[in-house]
């Protein structure tokens, strides 16, 4: 399908911005902890876990450990979402779109 020149250029810019955003999101690194640092999770922007650190003190209490690991993962995931929204907002802010659209 062929678009008028201006539309073609806009589509090309949108594709470039999408690629840049994907790269920036993949580069995000967050760290979240639970239980006062007893469990720490490091995650990238694609929500891949990079590292998990568990304090040996909590290793004996399986139920507490499960809760802390879950809390740390959920917090890391939330941080990735917040970082991605910030990057998306910054990128889309330059387009002059109406507020609240994204």
- Tens-digit pLDDT profile for residues 29-51: 999 999 999 999 999 999 999 99
Reported as a single tens digit per residue, the pLDDT across 44-93 is 999 999 999 999 999 889 999 999 999 999 999 999 999 999 888 776 66
Residue 57 lies in a domain: yes
* C-alpha to C-alpha distance for 27 and 76, rounded to whole angstroms: 15
* C-alpha to C-alpha distance for 31 and 46, rounded to whole angstroms: 14
Torsion angles phi and psi, residue 98, rounded to 5: -60, 145
Residue 2 lies in a domain: no
Residue 59 lies in a domain: yes
Number of structural domains, the chain? Answer: 1
Q: Which residues, in sequence order, are CB contacts of 47 under 8 Å at separation 6+?
A: 77, 80
Q: Which domain holds residue 70?
A: 28-91
Q: Tell me the CATH number at 73.
A: 3.30.1310.10
Q: Residue 42: which H helix or E strand, with range?
A: strand 39-44
Residue 35 lies in a domain: yes
Q: Model pTM?
A: 0.73
């Amino acid at each position: 399908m062929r678009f008028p020149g201006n539309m073609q250029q806009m589509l090309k810019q949108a594709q470039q911005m999408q690629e840049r955003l994907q790269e920036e999101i993949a580069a995000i690194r967050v760290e979240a902890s639970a239980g006062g640092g007893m469990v720490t999770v490091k995650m990238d922007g694609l929500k891949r876990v990079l590292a998990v650190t568990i304090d040996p003190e909590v290793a004996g209490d399986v139920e507490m450990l499960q809760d802390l690991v879950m809390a740390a993962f959920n917090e890391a995931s939330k941080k990735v979402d917040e970082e991605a929204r910030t990057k998306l907002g910054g990128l889309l802010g330059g387009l002059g779109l109406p507020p609240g659209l994204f």
